[in-house]
Chain A
Amino acid sequence: MKHLMALLFALLTVTQIQAQDAIAILNKVDENMNSNSNTTKSDMVIYGRRNSRTVTSIGYAEGKNKSFSEYLAPEREKGTKMLKIEGYLWVYSPSTDRTIQLSGHMLKQSLMGSDLSYEDIMENRKLIDMYNAEVVGDETIDGRKTWVLQLKAKVDDATYDSRKLWVDAERYVPLKEELYAKSGQLLKKTVMSDIKQIDGRWYPTKMNYKDMLKDGKGTDFIVLEINFDAEIPDYIFSKASLKK
């Protein structure tokens, strides 16, 4: 009985340590990936069945609740702007000169035909607020040692019931992420690459988002320029800036 108690205690302790480690890892990842504010110029390469198209945009973000992006190319998307404040998203279309608010299930639609949904870019909450995490192993990806974190939703309304995250053990940058349905079915996969040190932090400058249920190469998100903790005027995050 004593041995059993000791074994249980040891298991519990190991689990707690793993959970604490996982949270520490997630916090470090958060430090790398998030900043108070940033401006980003990026290309989104959307691969179709026959061809691909590239959408260039410039984005401004303050914390996780405010972001503004303007599409610069191609011609068809040029001038389209999106403003996200808290849980609300407005989209301005220059062709109609109208601003519409996306809400409810409109947010579940694909973002410009990509493998990302509006909802994917709307998630405000931190992973540690939504998931219980534990380190379930270590693997090597492209010669880099990674911690494998298993995340299980602790809130009812998480879009994905569980996630698996591969975090670079040295740089604390996620290199791969898998998103799962409640049934355990793999739904989406993200692969981060071209890790660069920018302003003292490690950051992936290329991300491939892939809907695992459909054919295709997914969508590449390539960071062309990024400035962390940039000064962003307040008016950027206002509805008035959509029509400017």
Chain B
Amino acid sequence: MKMALQMAFKNLIGAGLRTWLNVSVLSFCFIVIVFYNGFLNGWQKQGRLDAMNWEFAQGQLYHADYDPYDVFTIQDAHGSLPEGESQHLTPVLIQQATLYPNGRMNPILIKGIPLDQKVINLPIDLLAKSTADIPVFIGKRMAESAKLSEGDQVLLRWRDQYGTYDAANITIAGIFDTEVATIDQGQIWLTLDKLWKMTGLTDEATLYIADSQYQPQPISGWNFQSLNSLLKDFESAVQAERIGSMVIYLVLLGIGLLAIFDTQVLSVFRRQREIGTYIALGMTKNQVLKIFTVEGGMYSIFAGIVGMVIGAPLFYYTATQGINIGSSAEGMGVRMANIIYPAFGPGLVTGTLLVLVFSAKLVSFLPARKISKMNPVNALKGKLS
């Protein structure tokens, strides 16, 4: 094996430009595959973390009538938990309303959460400092779309528990910045006490956010949604993207491997005398076959080394500085931060390298199989058998 490695190394170095062309193509594949997978890993990790920190915590307890994907369920989906069942749960009441910024009609959701909540990162406690009659918090996306700034007053129309309209000016007491668009776009946040007072739905909630100590148990009229089930759509989106990106990998890898395959076919053809000499010197056909297969595998090792030399600074830079994708994903309804920090683990790099080595060996082996059928005498004469 040692000799096979030495010979393969010498042959590849001796082949000069042809080797480096193959290595370049393969290293490009290596960098693209590692980079894009790292990007997807980062997106998934960040999305999950952001969702936990800003929206779901350790899961949510939904009112039985509440369906977040059906706006028509929102107005009537509220109730209160039986006595003693609300430990480690933070109530959130959601109601529909209409905001009128500059005479434009803007249907929104109003969400009430306790002032002293700590279960999610929403800095609702800052509302305590406001002296406005109805101080509210909005996200930066909401502020941009409604053209609202801190201190602005805007008219809000909502309905009380019986369906009677009420309307008043609300004051934008603060604008928060979050990567989670689903707690930002088309909604305003205010203290739960204020929303109870406005709607008359005292002690009622649409959902409860669970903290890490909450132990789910069946409660009539309420359904617990685990963190995994709440993130199911997001995980599916990432998975779909992974599958979609496989096509690109296969095309890129196909180009790289085709170049190796082509080189190996040519090598077997041009190096018949060399093959004959090896066999004449006492090497078995399998040993010769091994030399050619190892040569193919060595292309991918070279590609890995070159890829790491070129890619490592790029991977390090993007992993620490992040990739600013702007707000392009916000309108697509995908949970995606504006800045994604790719995650390149050793498993990803090693796995990609192994795939490259295995596939390069495979495409080297296929043309080299001819060697096992060669007649050594004809091979020495340079004739194909």
Contact, CB under 8 Å: B72 / A181: no
In the bound complex, do residue B164 and residue A183 qualify as a contact, i.e. CB atoms below 8 Å apart?
no
Chain A residues with CB under 8 A of B105 = 211, 213-214
Which of A105, A157, A185 is the one whose CB lies under 8 Å from B164? A157
Nearest residue in A to B163 (C-beta to C-beta)?
Answer: A157
Asked if B103 lies at the interface with its beta carbon under 8 angstroms from chain A, I say yes
Q: Are A105 and B166 in contact (CB under 8 A)?
A: no
Q: A182 and B75 in contact (CB under 8 A), knowing A187-B157, A213-B105, A213-B155?
A: no
Interchain nearest-CB distance for A151 vs B (Å): 13
For the complex, is A161 an interface residue (Cβ under 8 Å from B)?
yes
A104 adjacent to B163 (CB under 8 Å): no
Q: What residue in chain A is nearest B106 (Cβ atoms)?
A: A214
Please name the residue on chain B nearest to A188 by beta carbon: B165
Chain B hits for A211, CB < 8 A: 105
A104 surroundings in chain B (CB, below 8 A): 72, 75-76
Contact A181 B162 (CB under 8 A): no
- Indicate whether A181 sits within 8 Å of B167 (C-beta atoms), given known contacts A104-B72, A104-B76: yes
A187 and B72 within 8 A (CB): no
**Least CB distance, A169 to chain B, in whole angstroms:** 29
B100 adjacent to chain A (CB < 8 Å): yes
A129 at the interface (CB under 8 A from B): no
Which of B75, B76, B157, B163 is within 8 Å of A181, CB to CB? B157
**Cβ A187 vs Cβ B104 within 8 A:** no
List chain B residues, Cβ under 8 A from A105: 71-72, 74-76, 96
Interface residues of A in 136-179 (CB under 8 A from B): 153, 156-161
Q: Determine whether B160 belongs to the interface, using a CB cutoff of 8 Å to chain A.
A: yes
Q: Is the CB of A187 within 8 A of B165?
A: yes
Judged by a CB distance under 8 angstroms, whether B168 is at the interface is yes
Q: Which B99-113 residues sit within 8 Å CB-CB of chain A?
A: 100, 103-105
Q: Mark B72-88, 1 if CB is under 8 A from A, else 0.
A: 10111000000000000
Contact B167 A213 (CB under 8 A): yes
Give the docked Cα–Cα distance between A183 and B170 (Å): 13
Partner of A161, one of B155, B165, B168: B165
> B100's contact among A106, A181, A214, by CB below 8 Å, is which?
A214
Q: Is the CB of B103 within 8 A of A215?
A: yes
Contacts of B163 in A (CB 8 A): 157, 159
Q: How far is the CA of A185 from the CA of B166 in the complex (A)?
A: 8
Classify chain A's interface size: 10 to 19
User: Which of B75, B105, B164 has the most chain A CB atoms closer than 10 A to its own CB?
Assistant: B164
Distance of A159 Cα from B74 Cα, bound (Å) = 18
Distance in Å from the Cβ of B276 to the closest Cβ of chain A? 77
B155 to chain A: closest residue by CB: A213
Give the A-B contact count at a CB cut-off of 8 A. 60
Q: Which residue of A lies closest to B158 (CB)?
A: A181
B104 near A215 with CB under 8 A, answer yes
**In angstroms, how far is the closest chain B Cβ from the Cβ of A100?**
12
Chain A residues near B103: list those with CB within 8 A: 213-215
A153 contacts across to B, CB distance below 8 A: 164
Q: Are A161 and B72 in contact (CB under 8 A)?
A: no
Q: What CA separation (Å) do A160 and B160 show in the bound complex?
A: 11
Instruction: Kindly supply a per-residue 1/0 record for chain B positions 345-361, scoring 1 wherever the CB is within 8 Å of any chain A CB and 0 otherwise.
Output: 00000000000000000
Partner of A158, one of B164, B166, B168: B164
Closest Cβ of chain B to A116, distance in Å, is 14
A101 CB → nearest B CB, Å: 12
Which of chain A's residues has its CB closest to B99's CB? Answer: A213
A185 to B164, CA, bound (A): 13
How long is the Cα–Cα vector from A159 to B105 in the complex, in angstroms? 19
Q: Given A104-B72, A157-B163, A157-B164, answer yes or no on A214-B104 (Cβ-Cβ < 8 Å).
A: yes
Question: 1/0 contact trace for B193-224 toward A, CB 8 Å?
Answer: 00000000000000000000000000000000
Is the Cβ of B157 less than 8 Å from the Cβ of A156? no
Q: How far is the CA of A211 from the CA of B106 in the complex (A)?
A: 13
Pair B168/A185 contact, Cβ less than 8 Å? yes
Chain B residues whose CB sits within 8 angstroms of the CB of A159 once the complex forms? 163-165
Contacts of B75 in A (CB 8 A): 104-105
Q: Using Cβ atoms and an 8 Å threshold, which residues of chain B touch A183?
A: 166-168
Least Cβ distance of B199 to chain A in Å?
A: 11
C-alpha spacing A187/B155, complex, angstroms: 11
Known: A105-B72, A213-B100, A214-B104. A160 touches B164 (CB 8 A): yes
Per-residue CB proximity of B59-81 to A under 8 Å, as 1/0? 00000000000011011100000
Compute how far the CA of A160 lies from the CA of B168 in the bound complex, rounded to whole angstroms.
14
The listed residue with most B CB atoms (<10 A of its CB), out of A159, A187, A213, is A213
User: With A187-B157, A211-B105, A213-B157 as given contacts, are A182 and B165 in contact (CB-CB < 8 Å)?
Assistant: yes
Give 14 A-B pairs besides A161-B166, A213-B105 with Cβ atoms closer than 8 angstroms.
Answer: A104-B76, A105-B71, A153-B164, A157-B162, A159-B163, A159-B165, A181-B164, A181-B167, A182-B160, A183-B168, A185-B157, A185-B168, A187-B157, A211-B105
A interface with B by C-beta (< 8 Å)? 104-106, 153, 156-161, 181-183, 185, 187, 211, 213-215
Using a CB–CB distance below 8 Å, which chain B residues touch chain A? Answer: 71-72, 74-76, 96, 98, 100, 103-105, 155, 157, 160, 162-168
Can you list 30 residue pairs at the A/B interface with Cβ under 8 Å? A104-B72, A104-B75, A105-B72, A105-B74, A105-B96, A156-B164, A157-B163, A158-B164, A160-B164, A160-B165, A161-B165, A161-B166, A181-B157, A181-B164, A181-B165, A181-B166, A182-B160, A182-B164, A182-B165, A182-B166, A183-B166, A183-B167, A183-B168, A185-B155, A185-B157, A185-B168, A213-B98, A213-B157, A214-B100, A214-B103
